[in-house]
């Protein structure tokens, strides 16, 4: 089976929001208690030479017990957040909120189809263990390190087909269970762009380190009207980017490199799974958008 790639995320910042809930699900005829949801971590981090305020969502899920019937430490860790941690939202500001660290997060892709068949794909951070950080030890950071197989690379183009000055790398990332994700990475500094363009080739197994850019900006659009003052529309633009800041200058070799036959088998399995998901997602969308009953011809009910 295809081995899982290095996939490591560290997020250290201020606990911003907590949206975790108790629940349950059925497995093999048994009811499994669980906690699921997400938290947000506020991180001020330098990206492209500028300090950017990030709001990094961390998605969490854990059953109450492990497969052998023991208490699940991941469940207990998440439950502590619910009971003992204070967020910015709960404190009414940063001053009373807890400083936290996520040391063992992973990047996975969230992928689905809209009712009209459009494919949506974006990275999400998953983790189970969070610790509080003392103020004197606090070092804000939202970083990752990964190994992947280079699927494609090119200069980034805007909607008009003009180069933006940034560089895109599409990576194939082996995940747990022999599955693969296809993840987009961005290089923005000239030195990193030059190295990636020169040293990395399609099919190479490479390692990179980088920073998360999970942030939002407001854009004001002025819309002219037939008469009177123009209308100003404020639009929020959210990004979930993985910015490469460094990596291996030569491809990994030997046992560290991935076999392309195994990679291609995993890609074929991924394609088949997505086709099945497309059918399910579009059918679900049709049911959700189905018209309600026409009550215009019902007899009067007396009120």
pLDDT in tens, 248-271: 999 999 999 999 999 999 999 999
Q: In 99-179, where do the E strands start and end?
A: 99-113, 119-126, 130-132, 141-157, 163-174
Q: Do residues 285 and 229 lie in contact, with contact meaning Cβ atoms separated by under 8 Å?
A: no
Q: What pLDDT is stored for residue 298 in this prediction?
A: 40
Q: What pLDDT is stored for residue 41 in this prediction?
A: 97
How many residues are given for the chain?
303
Query: Residue 55's closest CA among 215, 254, 248, 167?
Result: 215
Q: What pLDDT is stored for residue 237 in this prediction?
A: 78
**Among all chains, which residue has been given the structure tokens 């030997």?**
254
What residue ranges do the domains of the chain occupy? Answer: 7-288
Instruction: Kindly report the average pLDDT of the chain as a whole number.
Output: 91
What CATH homologous superfamily does 7-288 map to? Nucleic acid-binding proteins (2.40.50.140)
Q: How far apart are CA 97 and CA 16, in angstroms?
A: 8
Q: How far apart are CA 137 and CA 10, in angstroms?
A: 15
The residues near 219 (Cβ < 8 Å, ≥ 6 apart) are 234, 235, 236, 237
Angle ∠(14,18,23) on CA atoms, nearest 5: 150
Which segments of the chain have a pLDDT < 50? 295-303
φ, ψ at 230 (rounded to 5°): -65, 155
Q: What pLDDT is stored for residue 17 in this prediction?
A: 97
């Amino acid at each position: 089976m295809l081995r899982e790639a290095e996939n490591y995320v560290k997020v250290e910042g201020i606990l911003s929001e907590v949206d975790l809930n108790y629940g349950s699900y059925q497995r093999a005829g048994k009811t499994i208690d669980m906690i699921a949801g997400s938290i947000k971590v506020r991180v001020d981090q330098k990206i492209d030479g500028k300090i950017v305020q990030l709001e990094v969502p961390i998605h969490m899920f854990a059953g109450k017990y492990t497969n052998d019937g023991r208490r699940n430490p991941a469940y207990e860790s998440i439950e502590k957040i619910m009971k003992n941690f204070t967020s910015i939202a709960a404190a009414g500001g940063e001053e009373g909120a807890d400083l936290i660290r996520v040391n063992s997060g992973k990047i996975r892709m969230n992928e689905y189809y809209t009712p009209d068949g459009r494919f949506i794909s974006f990275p999400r951070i998953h983790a189970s263990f969070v610790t509080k950080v003392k103020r004197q030890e606090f070092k804000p950071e939202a970083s990752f390190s990964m190994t992947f197989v280079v699927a494609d690379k090119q200069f980034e183009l805007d909607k008009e087909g003009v180069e933006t000055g940034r560089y895109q790398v599409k990576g194939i990332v082996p995940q747990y269970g022999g599955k693969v994700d296809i993840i987009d990475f961005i290089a923005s500094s000239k030195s990193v762009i030059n190295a990636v363009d020169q040293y990395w080739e399609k099919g190479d197994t490479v390692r990179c380190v980088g920073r998360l850019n999970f942030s939002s900006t407001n854009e004001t659009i002025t819309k002219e009207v037939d008469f009177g003052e123009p209308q100003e529309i404020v639009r929020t633009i959210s990004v979930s980017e993985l910015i490469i800041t460094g990596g291996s200058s030569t491809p990994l070799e030997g046992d560290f490199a991935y076999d392309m036959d195994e990679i291609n088998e995993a890609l074929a399995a991924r394609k088949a799974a997505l086709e099945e998901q497309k059918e399910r997602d579009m059918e679900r969308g049709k049911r959700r958008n189905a018209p309600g009953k026409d009550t215009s011809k019902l007899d009067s009910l007396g009120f």
